[in-house]
Structure 1
């Protein structure tokens, strides 16, 4: 029987985020989108994949928006809906919520959509965000990668992933891996509202983990995907039912091409990487 996937890294990330928000004296504002309706779905925020739910068989799912909201103002949500077998036609809705200081969620707005049997649909919702206490540069000033030679871009992206893959496999490259993620982590500190003590703990955990050798899956059976209206690029594994004897609900949809084994031999984890080019002629950098 195929073994199930372990999610230790995701749990740790959630715990750190929770502690960070609870301890922040700044009154952090967190935005969440709830999708109510029994259907597989993908959510995009300003053309960046913010999350997905495949094969979960849940009536509702929630997505954290803060990592993809660079500033206050108008933002475009796009929900792709894939009705599951046997699901009835019916009304469903998206619900935008916010919370302050990790308090009770406040419903800000609802947007209806329909689930149509055997018919994938796409719904767009323009929302206004006005309570973020931060503004991030992110990829906003980056180069539109759609205008570049796709072959050359693909080689550059693969070279970046291959470099990271080799560092994980050989171990002892904590400083280099942390350096590659420096800009991404700096912004994560802001949108996760981490205080100095939490960030210090995260850095120590990261360094300890990055120095260990990791059994990595080959970079294979992937596709290059451009997000963020042309400003972000990543490599995603093509959806498959099984990797290295492990199965996952949703067939590994949208998993990163960087996949490692937990050191206790109990499951796989992915290393999501979003790259952007700060200016013409510059090398690609990790921003998420």
Structure 2
């Protein structure tokens, strides 16, 4: 099966009001060889790659995870490569290498914010390696995001998981019944913040909301299985993560269309104690 996308950096838009020269976009670039990895910014997931040892280069827009100007933390966890059954080797390869770079793009010009390279240390075998990398950004916006949410790690884990699973199942039901209005309502807060961080205008609004409607109307078979509950955002965000097979480490909400899978990232938070969970990223 082919994974098409981790859906979707969709946004709900109004005129952003930002001057063109005040629209910096930050990108994370990762090139890995002979290893797997997991990357997060401020404890929010960017991407997890359980790799068979192939050399892979990927890039990710990360503005939506940068709530405002100042210092942020990139965490890069290097893991062993995986076998054909997606099980990790016992230790990192003696030939792994990783290059990472965070780039600021503005007015068609790139400037490097962070650049690091890691490779095998001779004579050292380890099941993983964790790198904590601070970096600074300057942005013309400040988002609330999940930072004022409640600490979900203090809640009853079984009750919380039941609520999270119910949210995922409700989203799947909306897709299965083609309930575009309900899907758009669930995405509203996330989309609003993506709008600001991506500097979208009304034309973008019309185009991408049409794409969301087309996505809802696509004929898919949904799966929600083999998952675990995972906390992010320093305990203020929660999600269901797939634990097996080729989708290990990705969202547990999967949509199957012919031979293609779509992974729907649903990161939830609770704005205030006693309130229902909401989709934030």
Shorter-chain TM-score: what band? Answer: 0.7 to 0.9
1:73 Cα offset (Å):
1.0
Given candidates 249, 257, 261, the residue that maps to 2:256 is 261
Q: After superposition, what is the alpha-carbon deviation per residue over 1:52-85, rounded to whole angstroms, capped at 9, x for unaligned? A: 2332622644333212111111111110012447
1:167 pairs with 2:174: yes
The number of equivalent residue pairs is 262
In the other structure, the counterpart of 1:49 is 45
Under a length normalisation based on structure 2, what TM-score does the superposition of the two structures give?
Answer: 0.83
Gaps of 5+ in 1: 17-23, 241-250
Going from structure 1 to structure 2, the CA distance change for 1:32 and 1:200 (only over 3 Å counts) comes to same
Under a length normalisation based on structure 1, what TM-score does the superposition of the two structures give?
Answer: 0.81
Going from structure 1 to structure 2, the CA distance change for 1:59 and 1:286 (only over 3 Å counts) comes to closer
Q: After superposition, what is the alpha-carbon deviation per residue over 1:210-257, rounded to whole angstroms, capped at 9, x for unaligned? A: 24553212x2211110101001000111121xxxxxxxxxx2122212
In the other structure, the counterpart of 2:27 is 32
Q: After superposition, what is the alpha-carbon deviation per residue over 1:26-56, rounded to whole angstroms, capped at 9, x for unaligned? A: 5421112333452321111111111123326
1:222 pairs with 2:220: no
Gaps of 5+ in 2: 12-18, 82-88
1:13 Cα offset (Å):
5.5
Q: After superposition, what is the alpha-carbon deviation per residue over 1:125-162, rounded to whole angstroms, capped at 9, x for unaligned? A: 11111x21211100011111011111110111011111
Going from structure 1 to structure 2, the CA distance change for 1:234 and 1:91 (only over 3 Å counts) comes to closer
In the other structure, the counterpart of 1:122 is 130
Given candidates 231, 235, 241, the residue that maps to 2:236 is 231
For residues 113 and 283 of structure 1, the distance between their equivalents in structure 2, rounded to whole angstroms, comes to 42
For residues 14 and 156 of structure 1, the distance between their equivalents in structure 2, rounded to whole angstroms, comes to 24
Is the partner of 1:123 in helix, strand or coil? strand
Is the partner of 1:153 in helix, strand or coil? helix
1:271 Cα offset (Å):
1.1
Going from structure 1 to structure 2, the CA distance change for 1:259 and 1:90 (only over 3 Å counts) comes to closer
Given candidates 53, 60, 64, the residue that maps to 1:63 is 60
Alignment of 1:92-131 (within 5 A): 92-101=98-107, 103-116=108-121, 118-119=125-126, 120-129=128-137, 131=138
Going from structure 1 to structure 2, the CA distance change for 1:91 and 1:213 (only over 3 Å counts) comes to closer
Given candidates 182, 186, 190, the residue that maps to 1:180 is 186
Going from structure 1 to structure 2, the CA distance change for 1:34 and 1:267 (only over 3 Å counts) comes to closer
Is the partner of 1:74 in helix, strand or coil? strand
Going from structure 1 to structure 2, the CA distance change for 1:220 and 1:283 (only over 3 Å counts) comes to same
Going from structure 1 to structure 2, the CA distance change for 1:254 and 1:6 (only over 3 Å counts) comes to closer
For residues 140 and 2 of structure 2, the distance between their equivalents in structure 1, rounded to whole angstroms, comes to 36
1:202 Cα offset (Å):
1.1
Which one has more relative contact order, counting CA pairs under 8 Å at least 6 apart? 2
**Superposition RMSD in Å:** 2.8
In the other structure, the counterpart of 1:248 is none
In the other structure, the counterpart of 1:274 is 267
